[in-house]
Amino acid sequence: MSETGFRIFNSVFSAGAELIYAVLLTAFFQPFVPQDKQRRRLLLVFFAYILFEIVCNRAALPQGSFGLILMAILLVVSKWIGLEKPSVFLLTLLYFNARISSGLMVQSLYFIVERSVPYRLEPPEAVFLRAALLVMLFLLSHASMLAVMKLENTKVEEICKNFQQVYPVNYNGPGQLVVAGAKEEMDAFSRAVREAGGRGMPIAVGGGFHSPFMDGAAKAFGEKAAAFALRKPEIAVYSNFTTKPYTENVRELMEQQINHSLRWQESIERMAADGFDTFIEVGVGNTLKKLIARILPESHVYSVSDMEEAEQVSKEVGAEC
């Protein structure tokens, strides 16, 4: 599949998923909306979702805010929908709960489709197909993630041990450790964090990544990756699982990274110990830049999201050298 084909696939898949979500939300409201001008009222719900999704794609909204802001918008237009505000609140809450809770059904669908589609495609197409199925699985998973602030990592690990399915997964930096856990345990975990003096921030993802929740994905990856010859990189590429550069066991480490904790802080500290003092984040946003600046205050850290910034950083790094 060409780069253009992949971009089209990615755009169509994302747009199609959001259209399905908008239709499902409308269908959720349909039995409760008054018959008078029902079609017009339901179209208002549908387009409220679509327009808000467009705004979300263009604005840098805080993680985890989508459901809350959409609920607020529907409450504002509840008069035109023909429902009382408490009814709109309850229906929206039930919709998102149903959307999340359907993860087990989607997981079953994923494994059924996986086993019914023979592996006869060219490797790129097979990867894109598997990615689409995994996205469906992860979006509706029964696990979630929470960033814990203002607590030592050891304290967060201690709190996690009091829960059956809550795991420390992303060691991002001083005072920030992300955990993955079963949704039914996350409220109690958040309370425990607050009681210990910390703060929890939900992360807008659809799965418990880098934890035992991903055992199935890690196994599937390992089985398919076995068909490829992966060699030691020619330049140093650090694994967030071991904090060391990849050696010959690239495939095994990539598989383990899927369902094991990521030691980001240790990885950055290891790179600094190996002589690296300049870091450039490439992509939208500057989250990693901020984390590295906290881990290594004396380092030179940049973020690049377009060619203009890339040229500017190139000049600055060249001048420093």
How many domains does the structure of the chain reveal?
A: 3
Tell whether the model's pLDDT for residue 120 goes beyond 50: no
pLDDT at 62 over 60: no
The stretches of 140-283 forming alpha helices (DSSP H) are 153-160, 183-195, 215-225, 250-258, 264-273
Whether residue 47 is found in the same domain as residue 127? no
CA torsion sign for 289, 155, 179, 102 is: negative
> What pLDDT score was predicted for residue 260?
95
Domain membership of residue 254 (yes or no) is no
| Structural domain contains residue 165 | yes
Which are the contacts of 190, defined by CB distance < 8 A and separation ≥ 6?
146, 200
Indicate whether 63 and 146 sit together in one domain: no
Q: What is the dihedral of CA 52, 54, 60, 66, to 10 degrees?
A: 40
In terms of DSSP H, where are the helices of the chain? 3-29, 38-58, 66-76, 78-81, 85-101, 103-116, 123-139, 153-160, 183-195, 215-225, 250-258, 264-273, 287-295, 307-320
What's the chain's average pLDDT?
A: 80
Band (pLDDT 50/70/90 cuts) for residue 3 is very low
pLDDT, one tens digit per residue, over 173-182 is 988 999 999 9
Domain-embedded: residue 181: yes
Do 97 and 132 fall within a single domain?
no
Whole-angstrom CA distances from 25 to 73, 143, 169 are 14, 22, 32
Tell whether the model's pLDDT for residue 109 goes beyond 60: no
Looking at 53, 69, 101, which one is the last position of a domain? 101
| Residue 62 DSSP class | P
Residues 35, 48: Cα–Cα separation, whole Å: 20
| Residue 270: per-residue pLDDT | 96
Residues 127 and 82 in one domain: no
192 found inside a domain: yes
Residue 261 lies in a domain: no
In a domain, 154, yes or no: yes
| 203 and 137 within one domain | yes
Domain membership flag for residue 107? no
**Mean pLDDT of all residues in 42-55:** 80
Q: Would you state the pLDDT for residue 150?
A: 93
Question: How far, rounded to the nearest angstrom, does the alpha carbon of residue 70 sit from its chain's CA centroid?
Answer: 19
pLDDT at 237: 93
Domain range enclosing 68: 3-101
The answer to whether residues 140 and 187 belong to one domain is: yes
Confidence at residue 244, expressed as pLDDT on a 0 to 100 scale: 94
Residue 7 and residue 90 in one domain: yes
Average pLDDT of the residues in 67-90: 79
Q: Which of 79, 75, 57 is nearest to 66 (CA)?
A: 57
- State pLDDT tens for residues 227-246: 888 889 999 999 999 999 99
What does the pLDDT look like over 124-177, one tens digit per residue?
545 555 555 555 555 545 788 999 999 999 999 999 999 999 999 999 998 899
Residue ending a domain, choose from 208, 239, 257: 208
Does 55 have pLDDT greater than 80?
Answer: no
* Rounded Cα gap, residues 262 and 280, in angstroms: 19
Whether residues 193 and 143 share a domain: the answer is yes
25 & 80 share domain: yes
The model's pLDDT over 256-313, given as tens digits with 9 standing for 90+, comes to: 999 999 999 999 999 999 999 999 999 888 889 999 999 999 999 999 988 899 999 9
Q: Most confidently modeled of 16-30, 50-64, 240-254?
A: 240-254
Q: Classify residue 151: in a domain, yes or no.
A: yes
Quick: pLDDT tens for 203-217.
Answer: 877 678 899 988 888
| Residue 99 pLDDT | 61
The enclosing domain of 132 has a CATH number of 3.30.70.250
Say if residues 213 and 197 touch (Cβ distance below 8 Å): no
* Length in residues, the chain: 321
pLDDT of 98 higher than 70: no
Token pair 């904790």 is found at: 261
Q: Give residue 1's pLDDT.
A: 42
pTM: 0.58
In this prediction, residue 39 has a pLDDT band, given cuts at 50, 70 and 90, of confident
Average of per-residue pLDDT across 185-198: 94
Are 92 and 132 within one domain? no
Domain co-membership, 150 together with 73: no
- Of the residues 208, 231, 254, which one is the last residue of a structural domain? 208
Among 37-46, 54-63, 263-272, 290-299, whose mean pLDDT is lowest? 54-63
* Residue 15 and residue 94 in one domain: yes
